[in-house]
Copies of this chain bind each other. A is one copy, B any other.
């Protein structure tokens, strides 16, 4: 089986599991139990983990808040900010291609009287920083633009957006879940006020994530109780998970150049083959500013879901954009066909029946890409043969020329 769905989740690196193991049954104390040896040892492990995560993104340890994952971190960054800063205005700017864990908090704020301007992007999924600047109002409290898009792979010009945010003293959050562990992050280079990291996107365990919060910013705690995490997030800390995330951050930092080189090579190989060999194929996302190892596309006449299923039958696992979106099917009619991301980049919903996201990881090989390349032609041939739209086209009735 070949796993090409690293944007949905990654396998935990065995070195990460090894780092976690002592914290289940050995150093199992509650970090809040300051009074005895087990608690103190747990507290020290928590401090060390915080230092690792912080240093992997150029932050100070006290600027790292551990959460249960990226979704909670985005919720805290967005809802927590406006609740703690009611005087900063009622207007928010976001990109139109944010993840559901950003869009859903924004929608809840809209129902509470906030106005959200969704800034569009070009056909490559790139948000123009100038558009963000133009959207600023006198009462803009927050800008939130993702670092990278999991579905189409585009990496945003966060630094340039940050310039506008800084100039106008507007809080700037970026969801870096899709970039975690693969696109090097430095919070000072990016110039953001807060940043979401996902552990399970970088070979760390599920159930843990972190929010970077620049010193000087305040958030309102969302999960209230025992005042853990400097009062920003209550609940006994998931110490084995946090230690695992820290190890994953250490590894990502140490191996960044090796991973990027491998993934760029695999990406180029697959991209070039697709470009040269698959008719009716349209790439999505930016051809250059994209997540290493990320290739996404759709094929005219072919249903994305059928392509995914047939690839899975051949042992190749990919996705149609964000894994989370699959839970929304049935909740939201418009998600059945093209996602909000594909719509935003101008993929025609009437022509595109789903796209494919191939997100490769650090342990994938050239052989695996070769295997996919060898498997694709017969699959596409078969799907074209099954497609009524393609049959119409062969009869001279082009369904795409209404």
Task: Please report A residues at the B interface, Cβ cutoff 8 Å.
Answer: 1, 3, 5, 8-14, 16-17, 21, 24-26, 28-30, 32-39, 67-72, 74-75, 99-105, 107-108, 200, 205-208, 222-228, 231, 234-241, 305, 308-309, 311-312, 317-320, 322-328, 331
- Asked if A206 meets B239 with Cβ closer than 8 Å, knowing A5-B38, A13-B25, A105-B224, the reply is yes
Decide if A238 touches B317 in the complex (CB within 8 Å).
no
How far apart are the CA atoms of A104 and B11 in the complex, in Å? 37
When A and B form their complex, which 4 residue pairs have the shortest distance between CB atoms, in order from nearest?
A: A207-B238, A226-B324, A101-B225, A68-B68
Q: Are A32 and B241 in contact (CB under 8 A)?
A: no
**CB-based contact A24/B205 at 8 Å:** yes
List chain B residues, Cβ under 8 A from A237: 206-207
The reply to whether B38 and A227 contact each other, CB–CB distance below 8 Å, is no
Query: Is A227 in contact with B327, judged by CB distance below 8 angstroms?
Result: yes
A227 touches B324 (CB 8 A): yes
Known contacts A36-B318, A70-B235, A317-B38; decide if A206 and B241 are in contact (CB<8 Å).
Answer: yes
Give the nearest-CB partner of A78 in chain B: B224
With a cutoff of 8 Å between Cβ atoms, the chain B residues found around residue A14 in the complex are 25
- B3 and A38 contact, CB distance less than 8 A: yes
CB distance A323 to B39 under 8 Å? yes
Given the known A-B contacts A33-B319, A75-B225, A231-B331, are A200 and B236 also in contact in the complex, defined by CB atoms under 8 Å?
yes
CA distance A12 to B71 in the complex (A): 26
A35 and B226 within 8 A (CB): no
Residue numbers in B under 8 Å from A108 (CB-CB): 224
CA–CA, A101 to B34, complex, Å?
A: 19
- The answer to whether B39 and A75 touch across the interface, beta carbons within 8 angstroms, is no
Residue of B34, B227, B326 near A35 (CB, 8 A) is B326
| A72 & B240 in contact (Cβ 8 Å cutoff) | no
> In whole angstroms, what is the CA distance A75 to B72 when docked?
13
Is the Cβ of B236 less than 8 Å from the Cβ of A71? yes
Task: Judge whether A37 and B312 touch: CB under 8 Å.
Answer: yes
Bound: A36/B74 CA distance, A: 27
Chain A to chain B contacts (Cβ below 8 Å), 22 pairs:
A5-B33, A8-B39, A11-B26, A17-B25, A30-B200, A33-B323, A36-B311, A36-B317, A71-B225, A71-B226, A75-B225, A101-B225, A102-B225, A105-B224, A206-B236, A206-B238, A206-B239, A207-B238, A207-B241, A225-B324, A226-B322, A227-B324
From known contacts A206-B237, A207-B241, A235-B72, infer whether A327 and B228 are also in contact, taking CB-CB under 8 Å.
Answer: yes
Q: For A25, give its contact among B11, B68, B240, B309 (CB under 8 Å).
A: B11
> Which of B32, B235, B311 lies in contact with A69, CB distance below 8 A?
B235
Residues A71 and B206 in contact in the complex (CB < 8 Å), given A10-B28, A36-B317, A309-B35: no
Instruction: Give the complex CA separation of A28 and B24 in angstroms.
Output: 19
Q: Are A8 and B37 in contact (CB under 8 A)?
A: no
Additional pairs, 19, CB under 8 Å, beyond known A68-B69, A231-B331: A9-B30, A10-B28, A11-B26, A30-B200, A32-B327, A35-B308, A36-B318, A68-B68, A68-B207, A74-B225, A101-B225, A101-B226, A104-B225, A206-B236, A206-B240, A226-B327, A231-B327, A236-B324, A238-B241
- Residue from A235, A237, A317, A323 with most neighbouring chain B CB atoms (10 Å): A235
Shortest CB–CB separation between residue A36 and chain B, in angstroms? Answer: 4
Task: Closest B residue to A9 by CB, please name it.
Answer: B30
What is the distance, in angstroms, from A348's C-beta to the closest C-beta of chain B? 23
**Nearest-CB residue, chain B, relative to A244:** B24
Chain B residues in 8 Å Cβ range of A205:
24, 238, 240-241
Q: Which residues of B contact A3 (CB under 8 A)?
A: 38
A321 to B36, CA, bound (A): 13
Residues of B contacting A323 in the complex (Cβ-Cβ under 8 angstroms): 30, 32-33, 39, 226, 236
